[in-house]
Structure 1
Amino acid sequence: MILRKSILRQFKEKKFQYFGVIILLMLSIMLYVSMSMGISTLDNRNDQFKEEFMQEDFHMILANKLSSDQLEKWEKEYNLSLEERLYGDVSYKDSDTTLRLFSKTTEINIPYASKGKLPEEAGEVALSPVFAKAHNIAVGDEIDINNRTLQVTGFMYIPDYIYVLERESDLLSDPNTFGIGMTAENTLQSITDKTVAQILGHGTSDEESNTFKSAVTENYSLLKWMNQEENPRIQFVESEIESSETMITTLPLFILALSVLMVLMIMKRRLEMQRKEIGTMKALGYRNRELTKYYMTYATIIGLIGSFLGVAAGAGLSIPITDLYSNYFNLPSISYFDWDPKVLVIGFFVPNVILLIMTYFVIRKPLQQSPLDLLRPKDTSKGKKSLLERFPIMNKGSFISRFRIRLLARSKARAFYILLGVMFSSILLIFGATMYKGMDGIVNSTYKDIMTYNYAAHYKSLQQADTDQGESPFTVAEAEITRINGEKAKTIEQQSMIYGIEPETEHIQLQNVDGKLLNSTLKNGVVVSEPFASALGLSKGDTITLKNAYNNKTIKKEVTGIAKVFIGFSIYSEREEINEFLGYPKGVYTAKWTEALPEYSEDVLFIEDKQDIIENFESTSSLTRYSVFGIAGFAFLIGVIVLTLITNLIVEENSPSISLFKVMGYNDKEISRLIINVYTPIVLLGFILSVPIGILSIDQLMNSIVEQTGFAMPVQLNWLMILVSLVIILLTYYVSVFFSRRKLKNVSLQEALKKQQD
């Protein structure tokens, strides 16, 4: 009972140390539980939505109009489900906002009404919730589209537009400039100048899909074929789930390690300070088992409180995280909250087990000593020097410099812990700064330096007409890299495209990382985009085998360069050679780049406005830039907690020396320089080490997710961003020093006398 009372007293006396450790433990568990349960709920919603509402396995667009019974013939012959769906783009309010309206389907990509109902009569429309929210539209409102009034009957989701992108080449979704909706087929045809017919397919394996695709190309002109695994509107949510798994474990695990180390340091310090008490209790008859249970109680209380708060906070935080993901990816809330028992068990029990095991090994050694050894003062008379102190240069200089060096050399564990804490916070800051700069790099390199055109017109059929001045024809089609240097290449699940261009064109300037123009090398081989090279490990000089997605023809080409195109799996070659590879007549093209806005015609499939892409990317990526401030704030919080805990422990350990310095006439500022500020070089070293480690870690992270996302972020930092990160780290350090100085001021002059009496 007496021992139990002392536990409560110790928690009150050292409340900052124990409270800080509990907060660290809570943060690590909260991050793990919230991210794990949030992603788990998102994954369950995605699986349930695509299964219950028949997400497509593929879709295609044909240049020819199908006969009424052709779909039924294909369904019976290839044992699959097919359904035709029309869609058309209309301007909403202004030319900068596009609304894509679809006709209703009943078998494939079945719409889900989250509020209200789906349109049943002419003049009705249902909208995606994110678009409606962005434009302040409610169910029952009336909207004007192309001089016609439509009534909003409800909000809806469709399984093939989980990530709402206007074009497959887009990277980010922006509901302010693009949205989707559903209306009756007659209403759609009456308000749009041009509709596109998609054939949706479901119920085939990859092999059956390829067989059906070959049969279609024999009799029809196939403008577009996209499998489910190649569709970014479907796969982006899958990629996010996969890429989040690394972050779910790495970040919380590192904070957990910091928490456990801090507990161990506190327990070791406590055992050293209570040597005589432990010896006395053993002499009075306390068994090692009772003393072990007593000291293990500290770790138990810290673990239980930290894990309980972490699990509770993480479970609560997972709900808004899931809703945020669902809104971003346009997923309906079919299931509100999915409890994952495995996550709760891991989040609660694993940290406690680790903490108790490590604490046991720390307290085991002192308790094995005899009462007489424990009652004797700890032997410090030998004054054994560390390896660092033996260097002659360390014995030179003033007393202050020699004292600081000795203190630093004899507290290597503290220095290592500070190094870890600083490196952790610094890597977070470097990650945020890289993300901030990387967004600019993607836009500037891909859309400004390389893609110098203003518009791209894509056609439904092959074109032979001569292009005007300021226009550049090109051919684009699907292609697959099957072999690299004779070895089988890894399969890329996303769609890969091959572009046949004129090497002398001014509308696309293929450049490598050194800024060298690669267009002229297309006569000798092909140029690939950065994501393609990263995903397959391609280098200049490699020989690749290309497979035509339409007729399975293959050719071998040498990779003559890697272009700074950071979005999409793209291959660039000469147009005439690509036409031959695809089986097209000489001189034809499927699209053209232009400087002026091309005219719409019946042959035009769609027109790409590069400026819209840039504005869409920049407006949406601003959210990512704002997240940098959140990362910086989190890094600052972790840094302050870790550094303040360790500097407070240093003050506590050196309280007799601090008291003696006060007796000798040193003021608090001078003592702070001697005791606390000694770790400034460690802080600087930790930051310096974190810069290359952070860049390397981010580079590895981006390489690991490039296959799923289809884009590679340039990892680049300038000196300004590094300087800003250093300022934040130093601010974190000096904030912790400020809190520790307050503890230093409370050290009384009698501490040195107490130590002498001991």
Structure 2
Amino acid sequence: MTPLARRLPRELKHNIGKYLGIFLLMCGAIALTSGFLLAAHSIGSIIDEMRDEYTIEDGRIVTAFEATDAQIDAAEGATEDVGGATFYRNFSIDATIKKPVGDDGTKRTLRTYAHRTEVDIASYCEGTEPQEDDEVAIDRVFAKNNGLAVGDTIELCSRTYTICGIMTQPDSQALFPNNSDFTVNTITYGVAEVTDAGFTALEDAGGAPTYTYSFVFNDRDFSVADRTDAEEDIVKALTDADARVDDLIDADSNQGIGYARDDVDGDSAMWTTLLDIIIVIMAFVFVVLTNATIEEESAVIGTLLASGYRKREIVLHYLALPAIVGILAAGLGCALGVAFFTEPMRNLYYGSYSLPPFHVYWSWEIFVKCAVVPAAVLILITLVGLLRKMGKTPLQFLRHEASGKSGTKRGLRLPERMGFVARFRLRVFLRNLGNFATLFVGIAFASLLLLFGLAILPTMTHYADNLETSLVAEHQYTLKAPLELEGSAEEREQWAALDRLQSVDGALLSAAEDAEDELDAAADAAQAAADALATSPNAVNMQAASDALEEVQAKKDALYARLDNIAGALGCDRDEAIDLIDEASNIDADNDDIHPINTTDNGAEKVAQAEKYAIYQLQYDRGEGNGTETVTVYGVSPDSRYWKDLDVGDGRVVFGRGLLDKFGWKEGQQVDFHDKYEDKDYSLVYADDGSAWGSKSDMNVYMAIGDFNEFFGNDASYFNGYASNETLELDARYFAGDTTPDDMRAVGNQFVDMMSSLIGMMVGLAVFIFLLFMYLLTKAVIDRSARSISYMKVFGYRNGEISRLYIRSITLCVAASLVLSLPVIIGSLTAIFRAMLLSYNGNIEIYVPWWSMAECAGIGFATYLVVALLHTRSIKRVSLSEALKVQE
């Protein structure tokens, strides 16, 4: 073993605290990152396999009413140019769920499907699929968050079901009640499936079906552009076939399908960046500490160089320990991450997303990224620092000039009026300026992690509060089509009859109408034959009249048969079916100005306080490949009782403050929107004259309802929503949704549930980084000043007095760094939030309350106090003999 190699164990023992701290920080950071990345890679692989394994749809169409066979055939025919597509009924009912025991009254909803076997096939992790009419299988995450298990009983639409299975649905990997929602809701919203008969029972119990048709292209590999064109052809074909399309969602834009994958990918990039930052900062810490060691051993290095050692040998010697520590930390950290941290990281996602059973997919790329690259970067940066430091002559090293320019090093002259203590502390700061600069960067980085962890919940709660206050009424009902609340009892009976008839298969009604037309034609023919017989009574005319009467009877029998079919579908007799037809025939269906009337009378007071509004969604291109923002356009009454102080009318357009804050539109700027359903473009001009409304979470555009209808080319009387402080009973056929403050509060609760475990991890990691960075960098200051401390002891200074001189200097720098870094951190957090959330719907304003900043600084300073106690011990351990060592 060479003399230099024999020094390594002694150096490691002498600096065990320094190398152990670096080893722990690097090992911990790599363990967490490798565990996360491996879990994320495995989850991504599982999600990618789901498309074919569970036949995930390529898109879905939602119609206002059930489509006829002819309309579906038209839609399928529109895809022949791209190889064809198959459509599947994928109806659902948003059923209110109640637990017989322990229900707290919170409104919870299960989007319930009939058991699917051809598309969007569920994956069961416990129990079995529903087989009996009173059995239901529910989503795994919803079941966990609500304490439900196989064998429990629940009520759906007041009908009792027994939970037979726990499953996940591939089109609901992320539980979004609405595709435009900002975040998942796993607490008050879930999905479920029942038997076909169980689904029918939910309809009979008052559940309103959503008429969704999922489609799968025969060629699943053609480009997104071709698929988009095909989907536009589908919408056009359905519209031409008199079907009303309410929504078109491609699989790529379906958050229930793609959100989990996007979130995993985004978080993977964030964790990789976090690891890179930690490694770079640690490398600079290595450089600072190695430089301090070189300065401390300057005379030894000069002697070695004068004795014939090459600079290369000395560089390799001082690089050896950092390299060994880095390689061991990287290898052990990666091994620990795979063995112990993959499962906890997997739980972060499986607690929020509904995914099939987890299994690990190994990735050599992750090993290279988490083990090889950090070790290589650490060694490279340390090597560069050593080479720069070793660019001195042996004489300069012998004269202790390795840290400065050649010649006598003179200190900065300080004002005489400053007291001794102040000048001494300032000298300590100036002599260790590089250490303190690195310390500032480390403190800022750790504070960024810490403040992010402390501020994320207030930010999300603030966002949820803004969403809640953005609701102008206790209920904002949306409709599939205009539905009038006012009407006479007779009109309600007529529309109730029509509504009941429309629940019958359209083919039966069409057949009955054809049979009635044929009967009318036969009756006219019989009348003509009778007239001919009366004019010319002969055998021929008599036979013709007889044949005509027989034809009339045949057509009457055919009509009765059709009516019997309708009566059977309605569950009534023929006479009642005829009465329903007679009632419905009183409605002037050809008058476009007549809207359907709600069949339930809500009472004069409720009707009077309800206010009509119109709503439509457009897309805004965020630019730079960040996708499109869903923007809701509202048409409201200019003198609205609910949208107070909203100045609309006379063509005036008001933008939500969230849009302006997120996109920074300027005065006079033309803003272009796109209607993906009609393939039309719309333009609005932002006038910077105070035409903004709501909070910074408001992503809507407002105009008068008359301007709205003119803008979109609707009838002047069109509307599709009611704002109401009272609960309204609306016909299920026209009811689309009800947004309440409870729904908005659920968003905040969901964020708390999603972020709680991640926040604890981030706060713990930040405190750990605080502790190690402060210890390592401030220890270098104490070690560098060991001879001065020894001199002071020789001159009679006590340990406490010396600690006040050195430790307080460090304390002031740490305190200043904690305070001065806050503006930088808040600015960085704002930029990070904007970058992270730009490609998501909505606008989250970073909200850092004063107590979060105070808590961040307090935690940082409390961590430093622990370090200061350790340094007090270090000062006590400085020997008087240090002052007696020869120094040329």
Which residue is equivalent to 2:611? 472
Of the three residues 858, 862, 866, the one matched with 1:731 is 862
| Contact 1:239/1:709, CA 8 A, preserved across alignment | no
Moved more, 527-536 or 708-717: 527-536
Q: Name the SS for the 2:481 alignment partner.
A: strand
Q: Where do 1:35-74 residues align within 5 Å?
A: 35-74=36-75
Change (3 A) 1:498 1:80: farther
Which residue is equivalent to 1:513? none
Q: Deviations over 1:10-39 (max 9, x none)?
A: 212211011011122223323432333232
Paired letter, 1:209: E
Q: Name the SS for the 1:589 alignment partner.
A: coil
Change (3 A) 1:690 1:506: farther
Q: Where do 1:105-254 residues align within 5 Å?
A: 105-145=116-156, 148-191=159-202, 192-194=205-207, 195-203=209-217, 205-218=227-240, 219-254=242-277
Q: CA deviation at 1:184?
A: 0.9
In 2: Cα distance, 1:370 partner to 1:475 partner: 82
| Contact 2:638/2:647, CA 8 A, preserved across alignment | yes
| Contact 1:116/1:153, CA 8 A, preserved across alignment | yes
Q: 1:679 and 2:703 equivalent? A: no
Moved more, 167-176 or 612-621: 167-176
Paired letter, 2:352: Y
Q: TM-score, normalized by length of structure 1?
A: 0.89
Which residue is equivalent to 1:610? 740
Q: Where do 1:499-648 residues align within 5 Å?
A: 499-509=634-644, 517=645, 519-521=646-648, 523-530=650-657, 532-533=659-660, 536-560=663-687, 561-565=691-695, 569-623=699-753, 624=755, 627-648=758-779
In 1: Cα distance, 2:762 partner to 2:796 partner: 44
Q: Name the SS for the 2:727 alignment partner.
A: coil
Q: 1:327 and 2:351 equivalent? A: yes
Of the three residues 446, 458, 466, the one matched with 2:467 is 446
Q: Name the SS for the 1:528 alignment partner.
A: strand
In 2: Cα distance, 1:696 partner to 1:155 partner: 45
Q: Name the SS for the 1:520 alignment partner.
A: coil
Q: Name the SS for the 2:285 alignment partner.
A: helix
In 1: Cα distance, 2:155 partner to 2:680 partner: 49
| Contact 1:239/1:705, CA 8 A, preserved across alignment | no
Change (3 A) 1:602 1:712: closer
In 2: Cα distance, 1:647 partner to 1:354 partner: 24
Q: Name the SS for the 1:461 alignment partner.
A: coil
Q: Where do 1:266-345 residues align within 5 Å?
A: 266-282=289-305, 285-315=308-338, 316-333=340-357, 336-345=359-368
Q: CA deviation at 1:177?
A: 2.3
Paired letter, 1:139: V
Of the three residues 75, 87, 91, the one matched with 2:92 is 87
Which residue is equivalent to 2:588? none
Of the three residues 659, 662, 674, the one matched with 2:793 is 662
In 1: Cα distance, 2:44 partner to 2:658 partner: 26
Q: Name the SS for the 1:329 alignment partner.
A: coil
In our comparison, the structure showing a higher alpha carbon Rg is 2
Which residue is equivalent to 1:514? none
- Give percent identity, aligned residues only: 22
Change (3 A) 1:328 1:80: same
| Contact 1:142/1:150, CA 8 A, preserved across alignment | yes
Q: Name the SS for the 1:676 alignment partner.
A: helix
Q: Deviations over 1:587-616 (max 9, x none)?
A: 221111110111142344244242321331
In 1: Cα distance, 2:432 partner to 2:351 partner: 50
Q: Name the SS for the 1:538 alignment partner.
A: coil
Q: Deviations over 1:410-467 (max 9, x none)?
A: 221111111112211222233234323322321332322x322101222232234558
Change (3 A) 1:460 1:375: closer
Which residue is equivalent to 1:414? 435
In 2: Cα distance, 1:174 partner to 1:670 partner: 59
Q: CA deviation at 1:169?
A: 4.9
How many pairs are equivalent? 739
Q: CA deviation at 1:144?
A: 4.8
Q: Where do 1:352-391 residues align within 5 Å?
A: 352-364=375-387, 374-375=397-398, 378=401, 384-385=409-410, 389-390=412-413
In 1: Cα distance, 2:696 partner to 2:400 partner: 66
Change (3 A) 1:526 1:7: same
Q: 1:262 and 2:285 equivalent? A: yes
Q: Name the SS for the 2:90 alignment partner.
A: strand
Change (3 A) 1:481 1:284: closer
Moved more, 416-425 or 112-121: 112-121
Q: 1:457 and 2:470 equivalent? A: no
Change (3 A) 1:367 1:685: closer
| Contact 2:279/2:378, CA 8 A, preserved across alignment | no
Which residue is equivalent to 2:571? none
Which residue is equivalent to 2:514? none
Q: 1:652 and 2:783 equivalent? A: yes
Q: Deviations over 1:387-425 (max 9, x none)?
A: xx34x54x4311111111122112211111111122112
In 1: Cα distance, 2:375 partner to 2:337 partner: 17
Q: Name the SS for the 2:710 alignment partner.
A: helix
Q: Deviations over 1:283-316 (max 9, x none)?
A: 5554444434333221221111211122123323
Change (3 A) 1:151 1:481: closer
Q: Name the SS for the 2:166 alignment partner.
A: strand
In 2: Cα distance, 1:173 partner to 1:246 partner: 21
Q: CA deviation at 1:140?
A: 4.7
Q: CA deviation at 1:682?
A: 2.8
Q: Deviations over 1:29-64 (max 9, x none)?
A: 234323332322222222222343232333232223
Change (3 A) 1:700 1:491: closer
Of the three residues 458, 463, 470, the one matched with 1:437 is 458
Q: Deviations over 1:611-630 (max 9, x none)?
A: 32133123223233675454
In 2: Cα distance, 1:471 partner to 1:621 partner: 32
Moved more, 697-706 or 416-425: 697-706
Paired letter, 1:11: L
Paired letter, 1:574: A
Paired letter, 1:15: I
Paired letter, 2:198: T
Moved more, 694-703 or 681-690: 681-690
| Contact 2:40/2:265, CA 8 A, preserved across alignment | no
Q: Deviations over 1:247-302 (max 9, x none)?
A: 22332222112211122222222223333433444555544444343332212211
In 1: Cα distance, 2:394 partner to 2:168 partner: 73
In 1: Cα distance, 2:389 partner to 2:672 partner: 67
Q: CA deviation at 1:197?
A: 2.1
In 2: Cα distance, 1:463 partner to 1:490 partner: 40
Q: Deviations over 1:336-362 (max 9, x none)?
A: 112221121122222222222233334
Q: Name the SS for the 1:179 alignment partner.
A: strand
In 2: Cα distance, 1:67 partner to 1:553 partner: 27
Q: Name the SS for the 1:557 alignment partner.
A: strand
RMSD, aligned α-carbons:
3.0
Which residue is equivalent to 1:754? 885
